[in-house]
Amino acid sequence: MRLTVIGTGYLGATHAACMAELGHEVVGVDVDAGKIAALRAGRAPFHEPGLSALLARHTASGRLRFTTAYEEAGAFGQVHFVCVGTPQRRDCDGADLSCVESAFAGIARHARKGALLVGKSTVPVGTAARLAEEHGAEIAWNPEFLREGFAVEDTLRPDRLVFGVRTGRAERLLRQVYGPVLAAGTPLVVTDFATAELAKTAANSFLATKISFINAMAEVCEAAGGDVRKLSEVLGCDGRIGRAYLRAGVGFGGGCLPKDIRAFAHRSAELGVDLGFLHAVDAINMRRRDRTVALARELCGGSVLGARVAVLGAAFKPDSDDVRDSPALNVAARLGLDGADVTVYDPEALDNARKAFPLLGYALSVPEALRGAELVLLLTEWPRFREIDPRWAAGLVSRPRIVDGRGVLDPDRWTAAGWRFCALGMS
Ligand code: UDX
């Protein structure tokens, strides 16, 4: 089939490359000429395992092209996927739909008769119905559930597919697009627009709630003298609860969960439904950052003023160079404002971190970050940080004190190597 993908961020670039991998001819569209130039050269404009290889393969084969022109995309595509961002509005918790609106307007103007316009962006419930009315085009909603760091895998082998459609024709076209994925046995739910839109926001709200639940238990463990890691292990053994998304720490960040739960609560309130618990989920999450800053202060004797602090991690999560709403950088910046001499190291996110927080110090390796540190904070759970040898690290720092903000280090090992070891969720 001939597909277009409008918006080439994390979602769109991955979707375009994966659709080419499935055998379709794909044109990716973006208003950002710099991004398009990188993609044309077969390069992902961000770190995402496996994506550059797919881009290189399919730009070379000619199955995948990129353009900044809607005219070209409109003339080409039978199905157009809209994959643009929906950031938080500046004036409230709601979602900013300006990119979605201009993408739909842009492609609707140039699309061939009978083309299907498919929204993939995360939007407030009711958006698809409104866009269908405004543009008079055939529309479907097909939310994605991809995680950064696993975007290619999650697109080619998703847990489920959701088609929000109003006609049998739209469903048939989408079944054709995802033919190989469906043939592999992927569960498909065909539903209305509203349910398809809600599928995404509800899933993200549930995940955020799970993380904040265990982080609230971490607060209780800190107050009562428990160990949240053991507690999480016990809870996770119950098949009804499950182990995933039950790791306590400095909390969730990134371009999705924080803004999606706020937008969902905001939209629900407009509809007269009080999802107040999502405000609590958000508040618990932000309190973990406060607690990490407070722990750093306590360990430095009440103030971090002038203290050399090494921060391991800048990305909002491992296997990503994304620093949007990163808990690690938020904590680092706050310690910097308190007068600490902060040095941040991250395996992939240093360039983005520097752009977002130019006043912090940065190191190009773990030893460079640790050298002379009076306090170490582990704030992104990159696997390589788990493998740091505490005896080796003790030889580099000036004072062996560490806060494990992600619950990934072995307390006994670090204590035995002479470290003062603190973790969130431990007394
Ligand atoms: C999320 C959803 O998982 C995905 O389905 C949706 O499409 C977009 O939002 P992503 O933002 O890539 O994906 O990140 P995810 O892997 O879900 O992690 C989110 C944050 O939660 C990270 O900061 C991570 O460190 C944190 N986290 C995750 C925890 O603190 N504890 C956990 O147990 C799991």
**CATH-assigned architecture of domain 2-191:** 3-Layer(aba) Sandwich (3.40)
Mean pLDDT within 45-53? 91
pLDDT in tens, 116-133: 999 999 999 999 999 999
Query: Is there an atom of ligand 1 within 6 Å of 316 CB?
Result: yes
- Write the ipTM: 0.96
Ligand 1 site-directed mutation target among 252, 330, 378, most atoms within 8 Å of CB: 252
> Do 2-191 and 210-423 have matching folds?
yes
pLDDT over threshold 90, residue 45: no
**300 a catalytic residue:** no
Please pick, among 18, 83, 99, 256, the residue that the annotation labels catalytic.
Answer: 256
Taking the CA of residue 247 as reference, the ligand 1 atom at the shortest distance is 33
Query: Which atom of ligand 1 is nearest to 148's Cα?
Result: 12
What does the pLDDT average to over 173-182? Answer: 98
Ligand 1 and 28: CB distance under 6 A:
no
State residue 50's pLDDT score.
94
For the chain, the average pLDDT equals 97
The architecture CATH gives domain 210-423: 3-Layer(aba) Sandwich (3.40)
Report pLDDT digits (tens) over 200-241. Answer: 999 999 999 999 999 999 999 999 999 999 999 999 999 999
| pLDDT for residue 427 is more than 90 | no
Report pLDDT digits (tens) over 145-165: 999 999 999 999 999 999 999
What average pLDDT does range 404-420 have in this prediction?
97
pLDDT of residue 75 exceeding 90: yes
SS (H, E, C) the chain: CEEEEECCCHHHHHHHHHHHHCCCEEEEECCCHHHHHHHHCCCCCCCCCCHHHHHHHHHHHCCEEEECCHHHHHHHCCEEEECCCCCECCCCCCECCHHHHHHHHHHHHHCCCCCEEEECCCCCCCHHHHHHHHHCCEEEECCCCCCCCCHHHHHHCCCCEEEECCCHHHHHHHHHHCHHHHHCCCCEEEECHHHHHHHHHHHHHHHHHHHHHHHHHHHHHHHHCCEHHHHHHHHHHCCCCCCCCCCCCCCCCCCCHHHHHHHHHHHHHHCCCCCHHHHHHHHHHHHHHHHHHHHHHHHCCCCCCCCEEEEECCCCCCCCCCCCCCHHHHHHHHHHHCCCEEEEECCCCHHHHHHHCCCCEECCCHHHHHCCCCEEEECCCCHHHHCCCHHHHHCCCCCCEEEECCCCCCHHHHHHCCCEEEECCEC
| pLDDT value for 292 | 98
Taking the domains of the chain in order of start, what are their residue ranges? 2-191, 210-423
